[in-house]
Chains A and B, each alone.
Chain A
Amino acid sequence: MAGKRSRWEDSDESDADARQSVGTPIARRARDVASNSNKQADGAARAPPEHAGALPAELGAHVRPPPPRKAHLAASFTGKPLPVLAGCRSVDCYERLRKIDEGTYGIVWKARERATGEVVALKQIKVLRGQEGFPITSLREINILLALDHENIINVREVVTGGGADQIFMVMDCMETDLKAFMAKLKDPPAPSEVKSLMQQLLSATAYMHDRWVVHRDLKTSNLLFSMSGALTVCDFGMARHYSDPIKKMSTQVVTLWYRAPEILLGSQLYTQAVDMWSVGCIFAEIISLKPLLPGQGDIDQIERTFKLLGTPNDTIWPGYSQLPNVQKGRWRTYPYNRLRDTFCKPSFAGGPAPLTDRGLELLNAMLTYDPERRISARDALAHAYFREEPPPKPMKLGPMLAAAAERGAGAHRAEPDSPPIARANGASPETRRS
């Protein structure tokens, strides 16, 4: 970081500058190192590449190599073996191709690694450097993603830095599209076997992170990436954090409105990983019907819609309901019935089969249970009879045409509300505000 400006600092899309730096010594060295490490066995393949200017030989001797994965380690938070120590490489190891997406969280670029030609996604981490050093929110995202290792969770290969200290990028595998953009291009809902495959993958990722005490807090269809072969990966851990038992107070400014669990909507700060399961339930319904389940306009409308669809809760079905902050504040209309069955188990107008079987409805209901204590866990959901009844799960493959049409960011309209903004750096303790 000796004051060298990174090519990535200019936000214009021309990459003529970037191409020139192929020949710089650091890029060449990085290429050599990277191509060397590629030849190594697969055990080293997932470890981040050596630092361009590091001392690989001495370090290799000094630091213990990553141990083989052991069964009893798998239950620990650190699913990945201890990595070989390597400093951040420069972002100039990558050539910028084009902008994939830009949201409240920052910019995602498509890029090519100069050394290997591999296409990756680079996500610039927003570093709102405040009074308290590196923001804890950014730290959470990087730290959690580097520690998680699951086929349905986005793989972060390394973290690279640009010229300025504020330029930090996560290098991730590049996926063709996301579920939201993909579903927007579908004429008919996915077949039951395909729904099952999608849900199985989503639940498997969710169960994995909950086992490791990580709660995602922003599951939604646009945060589920999707590949040609039908593989689904959860991404955007910008709101994720560790939780502990006993649970501590956490922020209620989390989860995109349409996927927000009732306990958060009603102002509880002592929520659990069950909030993710509510979001999973909303996603389940959205995959079946190709439209969002609860597209509320603002907090009040969101609560109203939730109650209208699922019935207004009470202390019998949800002990402690009447004590929630926003229940005491407002007066909510009473809807006596849960209308999920009407919505999803009626034969279609044209006489086709109902979109959801009884087993499927049972699972959806278990996910959209008001009482977070009784809401189904990801592990239990995976074992649900729904996944064992006919037809068995089958990966949903993208045709090349559809893939091209649905490519991420290619005109996919963001009609849904954004993720809650990350607390800005102002006032006394900006980084701890979102907790």
Chain B
Amino acid sequence: MADHDEGKDDESEAVVEQRIYGCDLIEEASIHLELPQVCAATAQTLFHRFYARRSFARHDVRHVAMGVLFLAAKVEESPRRVRDVLNVFNALFQHRDDGSHALEPLDLNSERYLRMKQLVVGVEAEVLTELGFLLYTEHPHKFILNYVRLICPDPSLEQQLAQRAWNVINDSARTDLCLRFAPEAICCAAISMAARALRLPLPTQPPWWEVFEVAKADVDRVSGQMADLYARPKAQYRDLKTKRPSPAAGPGQG
């Protein structure tokens, strides 16, 4: 427990970027691993919970992304082998770093494979203790269909509205909103943004968010942060470890 006093990062530009980058990675990898979407969402939540207590400078997003996805797949009853997880991430790293499609598969007997494997299992154990084994999550997705059915003025637009809100919620997982707002609030903000994009007025008498016990201020704050997210360019990987070089350098790094 040596580095418990490492402190929290400021949400500096670099940290925000690495947060988004890590979540991008999780989502891409979960698609390649053919995992249900809930696994990616759970992994991203675990990712944010972990970094609420630990520092980006000390824990490489690439390693943590691998570890939390590996763990989340088990939590959501769709376990994947370490080997498959590593292979997918390995390919993603190569592709991201030099854009190459000529991928070099991992040699299962290599020193590097063993090192990466230890790394993933190690991150998993660290996440578990760091979160006190609190792995259960509640995702905003769950509320969409009910909410939309209740408030959408035009039944023919219900599906479109729900789909757009669903996309916003998926994107919201790139931020640490899940730590600071109830899933209901995030869901309301997503519906509000989706409705605006569709130019669809929602009931105001009484204000629709109040039906779901969500405060207007929360909807606005979540929407604001989502707008910031959409204004950003694609996040790139950066090694934030300044002092000590990574002992088990991830694939394709440096």
Residue numbers of A with Cβ under 8 A of B are: 1-2, 48, 51, 53-55, 58-59, 62-64, 67, 70, 73, 76-78, 80, 82-83, 85-88, 131-134, 136, 139, 142-143, 146-147, 158-159, 161, 165, 168, 241-242, 244, 429, 431-432, 435
Contact = CB atoms under 8 A, between A and B. Distances in A.
Interface string B123-159: 0110011111111111000100000000000000000
A166 B78 CA distance: 23
Contact of B138 (A54, A76, A161, A431): A76
Contacts of A77: 136, 138
A33 B129 CA distance: 18
Chain B contact-residue range equals: 35 or more
A134 B128 contact: yes
Please indicate which of the listed interface residues A67, A139, A158, A241 has the most CB atoms of chain B within 10 Å of its own CB: A139
B75 A139 contact: yes
A67 to B, nearest CB: 6
16 contacts: A48-B132, A53-B1, A55-B8, A77-B136, A77-B138, A78-B138, A83-B132, A87-B132, A132-B79, A134-B121, A143-B135, A146-B133, A158-B132, A241-B77, A244-B77, A432-B79
Nearest to A133: B121
Contact of B124 (A58, A134, A142, A147): A134
B79 A85 contact: no
B14 interface: no
Contacts of A55: 7-8
A165 B125 contact: yes
Please indicate which of the listed interface residues B49, B52, B128, B135 has the most CB atoms of chain A within 10 Å of its own CB: B128
Nearest to A76: B138
Contacts of B134: 48, 83, 85, 146
B195 interface: no
B213 A70 contact: yes
Interface in B103-124: 120-121, 124
B132 A86 contact: yes
B7 to A, nearest CB: 7
A77 B139 CA distance: 11
Contact of A67 (B130, B131, B182): B182
Interface string B141-185: 010000000000000000000000000000000000001111000
Nearest to A80: B136
B4 interface: yes
Q: 6 smallest A-B Cβ distances: which pairs?
A: A147-B136, A159-B133, A53-B4, A133-B121, A88-B129, A136-B74
Interface string B208-249: 000001000000000000000000000000000000000000
B82 interface: yes
A interface SS class: loop
A159 B82 contact: no
B2 interface: yes
Given A62-B180, A87-B131, 20 more contacts: A1-B129, A51-B4, A53-B5, A59-B52, A62-B8, A63-B180, A78-B136, A132-B79, A133-B120, A134-B71, A136-B79, A139-B71, A139-B74, A139-B135, A142-B133, A142-B135, A146-B136, A147-B136, A165-B125, A429-B81
A430 B248 CA distance: 27
Nearest to A161: B129
A251 to B, nearest CB: 13
A78 B178 CA distance: 15
Nearest to A160: B132
B2 A2 contact: yes
Contacts of B138: 73, 76-78, 82
B82 A63 contact: no
A324 B246 CA distance: 55
A134 B71 CA distance: 8
B56 interface: no
B70 interface: yes
Contacts of A73: 138
A87 B129 contact: yes
Please indicate which of the listed interface residues B70, B71, B133 has the most CB atoms of chain A within 10 Å of its own CB: B133
Contacts of A63: 52, 179-180
